[in-house]
Each structure stands twice: as structure tokens, then as C-alpha cells.
Chain A
Amino acid sequence: MTGNTNAGAPRTLYDKIFDAHVVDRQEDGTCILYIDRHLVHEVTSPQAFEGLRMAGRKVHSPERTIAVPDHNVPTTADRVNGIENPEGRIQVAELDKNAREFGLNYYPMSDVRQGIVHIVGPEQGWTLPGMTVVCGDSHTATHGAFGALAHGIGTSEVEHVLATQTLIQKKSKNMKVEITGKLRPGVTAKDITLAVIGKTGTAGGTGYVIEYCGEAIRDLSMEGRMTVCNMAIEGGARAGLIAPDEKTYEYCMGRPHAPKGAAWEAAVNWWKTLFTDEGAHWDKVITIRGEDIAPVVTWGTSPEDVVAITDKVPAPEDFEGGKVEAARRSLDYMGLKPGTPLNEVKIDAVFIGSCTNGRIEDLRAAAGILKGKHLADGVRGMVVPGSGLVRLQAEEEGLDKIFTDAGFEWRLAGCSMCLGMNPDQLAPGERCAATSNRNFEGRMGRGGRTHLMSPVMAAAAGIAGHLTDVREVIAETV
């Protein structure tokens, strides 16, 4: 029943948001969908602006377009002197030129509000429930935490949205991912989202929009929900959503670009209709008990390579089909032997940051583990706040001091090591406990080895010098 919605029939949250944005629908189900917010960064936009210029087109709605440089931006204090890498410098300069020429809402590198686009959008109140949000970046799924339909697009589509404020779309299928009950201590939003990908695989969500629901999801803060939705794309889903509730309204209220006064009241009234109706059709349902989720880490080079920290490194023969060869290649790349307990895997670096885990609660959680402790000998650590405002908040709370006392570098906001388009990279063979979202080959630097995990797990690994079960660290401190 996807693609075609009968009036009055029970609908999912995704159905409702999609329907509210259909500008035009062809007979074959191809729709023109209205886009409420378009986020733009420097890497995937220059060719789109060039295309506009060549065709003599304008930006249709500059007031709904928000631009911020993040991928190339250095995170060291000397960035006030400009970007050393000439290509990165040109890309950021292009964004600067395009944002000013077309009159976009713009947060330049020197602005205290600058940061990772998916952290800045919600922080500034651009992202609101029931909106359509797109960006030339796959982690746009993050904004689904507000009950917004948010997904990544390619540069051609960026140009399409710039020119028309719409996107050509076909309806995806509906998937429900329910996390029931309560999480155990030491288990976080990151563990939920990795556990789901571990269960569905990186292609399990292809063709679907996921709605995350259940008590464990409701119990999460807005920031935790953003972490969960951020990685919907790693499971292959077009988008991930969570129905808005009081926590959502409370988070949005008073933010610079959130509605005020009567407009706020009207907005909340509409937002209250944004939930999945009883009896709505699901094309696929996944249920996981919150109690069954352990702190997890990845062992390989795909986000689906998820195991509990108490497990061992698997063998290629544990898999089937094409995954056998892929696992062999991953183990070789990662320098791991099958059967090794995960908590014996030594690390060289810790990275805390990214659009997945670079928000204030992530930093508080990591600092909670690190307080009064120090990185193990030979381990380097880097904390990169997701935005300039997150950084300021952390400094007000004294978190920067906890990190630097523990031996971490305290950096300025940006994507940093998560994709190593800037100077922050792993050396070949260097092994990192990372709070980011992708463990692909070469992602954090050629030959670099990434283990994905939560901020508390990354902090605990930093102290121990090897991957470790954060629950043991918590038990010691209690």
C-alpha cells in the first residue's frame, strides 16, 4: 500500500509527513516533494552552485537554505590563519562566496555557531518536527530524531533543491524498529543503533524509512535520539524517524529559528498529530529487547560488523556467501585474528566527536568516565565538539579540563577525524576507538583502523589502552 494513501486509512508517521509535502504526483507514483529545510556544506555543493550559474538559475528559497563549512575545517586554534591545504581552502572559499552571493543563512568558519551541519541545524532551531530536511550528506538522517523526514541527497539533487525547493521522490516502504523495555547501565543510544545494524545488516534498510519506537527510544533524550537516527543510513535506510513528543517540543522551544508565540502554539498543535495511527501498515518489523543490548563495538570495516564487547573476533567461516571473502579482507585490514577476545584488542588512539556523538551529552558522558583518570601510555586522544556552542557549553561545565587532564587534545568544532578530509587523520595501521559512524577502509586515514562504539566505551578504552567493557569501569567507580 506504499505510494498510494487512501484518505482516512491509518497512516504511519512517514506517510503523514510525506503526504503533507506532496506538490505533484504522477500516475506511476513519482512525486515532487516540497523541501522545508536545505542544509549545505562545502564538499557536496560547489558543483551544484556552478550548475545553477551555468543555467542562469537562482536559489528558489534562500531563507530555507542553511550553509556551514564542516568537512574541511581544521580543528586546531591556528585555523584563524586560514586552511593550509589549498584545495580545502578553495572549497570553503567557494561556499563562502556562494552563501553570500545567493543570500543563504550562513555560519562561516569564524562564527561561534559554526560546527557540523547536523549539529548546527537542530541547535539553531532550523530542524523542527514534521519538516522535510535534506542535505548533500548521508548523515542527514540525524534530523529524523525530531519526527522530520530527513535524508541525504547527491549533488545533482542539491542543485535540484536549490533551483526548485523540491525533490523528485518515490515513496519508500515503512519499517518499524521497536526497542522494548529499559536499557541496562552502560548501554547507550549508540549501542542501540549499532545493535540494530548488526541485526539487519547494512543493506537491511534499503528501500525503507525506519520509525524507531518503543520504551527504550522514548526514554532517550533528544540527543540520544539524534545518535540513533544518525546511523539509519548505515543500515541502508533512506531515513530514520522518531515521533515527536514533549521532549521534542521542549528541545525546540526558544531556539533562534523555532517559531514563537501564536506560531509556536499552531506548530505544536500540528506536531501533536504526527504519530503512527493504530493499525497502520508496516512492510517490515524488527523488535529488539532493550535488556538484551550490551555495549557493542565493531570488529571489521562495515558498520554491520557489530559484536558485544564480551565477544570474540569472528572468523570468515562464521559467515555465508559474499560476506566470507569480505570478512577475510576486513580481518586482514584490521590486523585481527579470529577468536581474539575483543577486550584484548589494544588501541593507539581515541576519537570523541562527529555528528553521531559530538553533542554536549556525549561529552558529559565521556568526561564522567575520564574524570580523575588518564589515557594509557602510548594512546593519543582527541575530543572534537560538534559545534562552537557545544564547545563553549562544555568549557562552562569544566569538561575541557577533565579531558585535557586525562591527556586528550581539546579541539575546535568540525567533522575532524570522522572522515579525515582535514588534517586530523590516523596513520597507517593506527587503531582507534571512535565515536563516529563509519569504519570503512581508509575512512579515518589510509590504513587507519576504526572500531565504532559509544562515547563511554571510547573513554573507557582510552584509559585501559585496549577495548574494554565500560560496565567494569562503572562498577569500580561505584
Chain B
Amino acid sequence: MDKFTTLTGIAAPMPLVNIDTDMIIPKQFLKTIHRSGLGKNLFDEMRFNPDGSEIADFVLNQPAYRDSQIIVAGDNFGCGSSREHAPWALLDFGIRCVISTSFADIFYNNCFKNGILPIVMPKEVVDVLMEDAGKGANARVTVDLENQTVTTSDGQSFAFEVDPFRKHCLLNGLDDIGLTMEKAPVIASYETQMAQSRPWV
């Protein structure tokens, strides 16, 4: 997993609420057995006509936003299925950070496992960031994970909260399976005790 420290990039505004994982990556692209290569199908049915041509007014098809690295989204981004193909597609497209008032639980977890930083901000702040994102390619937003701040193109800075353990893993690009495997003796001792207390499991 790539580290996430600071990021300065174009933010795409997507004010629609309840953007679900079927919108982020429709089911027909879940047949892959690989993690990579999904970026071309990100937001497929919002981004492309059935004949494959681009839908011109979709934000990521507009010249100013084609190289976006950040999405500022409406409430409850990533609701729906557990498919990790959603963050894989975002990452493959080049999105490293999503900012919203709220995220669906499984999607939120999945982001951290893939070096994407999901940031929860109050509505007033998301409104400011949405407006700033509307300025297009001239407006670059800076996300600083170490200091937990988001700074707009005109220098307004907002603090955000992030779980310390997740922050640590993201800053250092840590694989949490490796971390858990270091606890193998504790897991083994739990299993020994469980064989007594819940032998039917």
C-alpha cells in the first residue's frame, strides 16, 4: 500500500447524496480477479453512454477535472455493497482522497486498506470545499494527514479527525495483516481458551 502524507490536487465536486458503490463501479466490472485496471470503468454508467462515448457534463469528463485526485461528495458516499472494487477503481483513476459529511461504514474501512484517505467534515465545511472545488483546475486543495488539515485554494484551513491507528498505518503504508500476525501468540492463546469455553465453534 502506498503511503499517504500530503496531497495537493484538483478536487472534483460531486454534490449528489447517497452515491452508492453500484454507481462507483457497476457490477459488470466485478468479474475481474485483479485489483488493478478498474479506473477506466470508474462511475461507468454516469460517465459513459451505452455506446462507450463520454457523457460530456459528468464532472470527471470535463477538461478541468480529468486529473482530479480528490472528490468532494454529498452525504453518505459509498453506501451499498462491500465491494473493494470501489476504492480500487477510485485509486486506479488517481483519486487518493474523498471528503464528505458521511461515508458508509464498509467503504470507509476499505479506503484505508488501499491508501485512500476518506475525510468526514461538517456540512458547513463540505459546502465551502464544494464551492472551492467548483473553481476547477485553477483551484488546488491541499490535504495534510500528519497535521490533519484540509486547505482550500484561497488558504482557508480546516482541521479533521482521523483514527490514530488508521492514520499511523496510512502515513507509513503499513500492511495490517503483518501487524496482526505479530500477535500470533495472543491469537493462539485465545483459541486454546475458546476450545474450553466454546468447544462447539
Contact = CB atoms under 8 A, between A and B. Distances in A.
B105 A207 contact: yes
Residue among B15, B105, B163, B199 with most chain A CB within 10 A: B105
Contacts of A442: 22-23, 26-27, 45
Contact of B176 (A24, A168, A170, A326): A168
Contact of B82 (A20, A131, A153): A153
A160 interface: yes
Interface residues of B, number: 55
B76 A202 contact: yes
Contacts of B76: 202-203, 206, 236
Interface stretch (A260-268, A348-356, A375-383): A260-268
A321 B74 CA distance: 10
A202 B165 CA distance: 27
Contacts of A19: none
Interface in A182-208: 202-203, 206-207
Contacts of A85: 31
B153 to A, nearest CB: 23
Contacts of B18: 202-203, 302, 304, 326
Contacts, number: 186
Interface in B161-178: 163-165, 176-177
Interface of B: 15-18, 20, 22-23, 26-28, 30-35, 45, 50, 74-76, 79-84, 87, 102-106, 109-110, 113-114, 163-165, 176-177, 180-181, 183-184, 186-187, 190-191, 194, 198-201
27 contacts: A24-B186, A43-B31, A50-B33, A90-B33, A91-B33, A128-B201, A130-B198, A136-B84, A154-B82, A157-B113, A165-B187, A202-B18, A206-B76, A206-B104, A236-B79, A263-B199, A263-B200, A266-B199, A302-B79, A321-B75, A322-B17, A325-B15, A326-B16, A326-B18, A421-B30, A442-B26, A442-B27
Q: Which 6 A-B pairs have the closest CB atoms?
A: A87-B31, A259-B200, A156-B113, A322-B17, A152-B82, A154-B110
Given A44-B83, A47-B33, A153-B106, 17 more contacts: A23-B186, A30-B165, A32-B186, A34-B191, A90-B31, A90-B33, A136-B84, A154-B84, A155-B84, A157-B109, A163-B180, A164-B187, A236-B79, A238-B105, A323-B17, A326-B16, A446-B26
